[in-house]
Amino acid sequence: MGWKLLAAVAIAIAGLLPLAGQAKTVEVKTIPVTPSQETPIIPDTEIQLPSENAAAPASEAATDPEAPEELPQVLYSTDYLPKPVARMHSQLKEAAANGDLDRIRMILESNEMPPTLSFGDIGDPIDFLKQSSGDGEGFEILAILADILDAGFLHVDVGTAQEMYVWPYFARYPLEGLRPDQKVELFRIVTAGDFAEMQEFGAWTFYRLGIGPDGTLHFFVAGD
């Protein structure tokens, strides 16, 4: 009876196993997935590292110390001048051209402040102009004043408390490398000897005149 029991158990186990070579079928369900947005396709790109010789950004670029200095704009037309400046310029030019020292006195005394005529004490301004003039009467100084007011001028220090209209423009202009026409204009005011001395000094030291935007005459002075 023992072998019969073993045979029965073997038959029962064989009935539970699938036949050899026969795969069990599993039902697979496909669940569709709808993406919220289309995923972009990124093409293959080559990553380039910055070169050691690449130019620096403009904000970091060093300033060339040898770059040419920008020259100030030279003006000639008095139409550019504000009315108070044009009025003072016209009054001075007319009085100088007419050799009218009395008129010059009136202009100086009506000025908002005593203009600088020297870097030292001068006493009476008209007496000082006469003493400074080669002829002793002040007419040489008036001739210089007229020539200066005929020259080109600059509008300097714009937007600051020192804003000024300055005659002649050589007073605030690089003297080296002047054009031929500028040298002719310069020699209408000074001699070649004067110019040579100023070149050696490095700045204009002859007479110059400054008028503020409000028409105030600030200086008519020579020297350094």
Q: How far apart are CA 93 and CA 111, in angstroms?
A: 15
Neighbours of 142 (CB within 10 A): 22
Residue 63, phi-psi category: left (phi > 0), alpha (psi -120 to 50), beta (remainder)? beta
Q: How far is CA 126 from the centre of its chain?
A: 41
By CB atoms closer than 10 A (0-12, 13-18, 19+), residue 114 is exposed
Q: What is the pLDDT of residue 177?
A: 85
For 42-100, where are the alpha helices, taking DSSP H only?
83-97
In a domain? residue 55 = no
Instruction: Kindly state whether residue 56 falls inside one of the protein's structural domains.
Output: no
Give a yes or no: residue 32 inside a domain: no
Question: In this structure, is residue 88 part of a structural domain?
Answer: yes
Question: pLDDT tens track of the chain, all 224 residues?
Answer: 454 554 444 544 445 444 444 444 445 455 554 544 444 554 554 545 444 444 444 434 344 555 456 899 999 999 999 999 999 999 999 999 999 999 999 999 999 899 999 998 889 999 999 999 999 999 999 999 999 999 999 999 999 999 999 999 999 999 998 999 999 999 999 999 999 999 999 999 999 999 999 999 999 999 87
* Enclosing H/E stretch for 210: strand 208-211
pLDDT tens for each residue of 57-75: 443 434 455 545 689 999 9
Burial of 139 (0-12, 13-18, 19+ CB in 10 A): middle
Q: What are phi and psi of 70, to 5 degrees?
A: -70, 125
The number of domains in the chain is: 1
Amino acid at 90: S
* Token digits of residue 144: 């210089």
Whether residue 38 lies inside any domain: the answer is no
Q: Is residue 18 part of a domain?
A: no
What per-residue confidence (pLDDT) applies to 210? 98
In a domain, 166, yes or no: yes
Query: What kind and span of H or E run contains 14?
Result: helix 2-16
How many CA atoms lie within 13 Å of 217's alpha carbon, on the beta-carbon side?
Answer: 27
The domain in which residue 97 lies consists of 78-221
pTM of the model: 0.69
Q: Please tell me the predicted confidence (pLDDT) of residue 134.
A: 94
Edge-to-edge strands, sheet with 154-156: 154-156, 164-167, 208-211, 217-221
Residue 62 counted as domain residue: no
